[in-house]
Amino acid sequence: MSSIVSNSDLLQCAVSAARAAGNHALENSSRRREVSEKSQHDVKLALDRECQQKAEQVIQSAFREHKILGEEWGFYHEGDEHLWIIDPIDGTVNFMHGLPFWCSSIAVRHRGEIVAGAVYLPAMKECYTATADSPAFCNDEPIHVSDVEQLEDALVLGGLSKHLGKDNSTLDTFIAMSQRAQKSRLMGAAAVDLCNVACGRADGYFESMIHLWDIAAGGLIVQRAGGKAEVLEQIGDVSFRYLCSNGRVHGEMKEILVSTLGGEG
């Protein structure tokens, strides 16, 4: 295929890849407890790897020369022309236990900018999409962030560090956020959280250490739905302190994150 490719072509492929990965997980959910690696507070499933393979097959058959970075394997080079960023199962622990809040997330980065993203939630039958030059959609219906103005009226979502015990600052943030928001929730799948912000079911999302594959597609979807996504601090090549919101409660959330976690103000 030509190296000049439109964002909508990239999105079409991202949707097919997300559906291939997500449907493979759903169809094989009887195998959801096949563990390949276990650590404290986390797990890798045989299906994580299989689903990444399914997504890669779709991408490589359309864009053989493009590079791939997945949660399960892959390489990240700052200078990659096109980079596909895959989380084959985001919310792995939810999936393993049978909770429906998990998804397959695929984003495409072109010269350092995320230009297309698809997040597919097989158990909820929802597919969220956006490109850098189009609005955000859920199942082809346009979506928009909420118009909640103040944190005291907001539902905020977040994630807890996998390194609880060594670093409890993430708990301090969660407590502080819970004291100021109407409610806070830990749902267990960052890309799903971002889509919930994008469609206005939640008003903000924060996490103190999150990876590129968890937020790349969802972050674009939030922005194209009218919200704001912000890296507060880069921790490693592909990990960040991260905040996104409907834009209106952003300042209040950021103040709490900066005062409890540190990072850039």
List of residues contacting ligand LIP (CB under 6 A) = 71, 87, 90-92, 159, 162, 188-190, 207, 211, 214
The closest of 86, 104, 116 to 20, measured between CA atoms, is 104
Closer residue to ligand LIP, CB minimum distance, 5 or 238? 238
Query: What is the distance between the alpha carbons of residues 137 and 14, in angstroms, rounded to a whole number?
Result: 14
Calculate the CA 210 to chain-centre distance: 9
Closer residue to ligand LIP, CB minimum distance, 50 or 214? 214
Closer residue to ligand LIP, CB minimum distance, 158 or 227? 158
Q: By beta-carbon distance, which residue lies closest to ligand LIP?
A: 159
Closer residue to ligand LIP, CB minimum distance, 153 or 167? 167
Classify strands 82-90 and 42-45 as parallel, antiparallel or unpaired: unpaired
Q: Is the Cβ–Cβ distance between 143 and 137 less than 8 Å? A: yes
Q: How far is the CB of 54 from ligand LIP (least distance, A)?
A: 16
Closer residue to ligand LIP, CB minimum distance, 92 or 223? 92
Q: How far is the CB of 208 from ligand LIP (least distance, A)?
A: 9
Q: How far is the CB of 193 from ligand LIP (least distance, A)?
A: 7
Torsion angle of the four alpha carbons 251, 263, 81, 222, in this order, in degrees rounded to the nearest 10: -20
Q: Is the Cβ–Cβ distance between 33 and 15 less than 8 Å? A: no
Q: How far is the CB of 65 from ligand LIP (least distance, A)?
A: 27
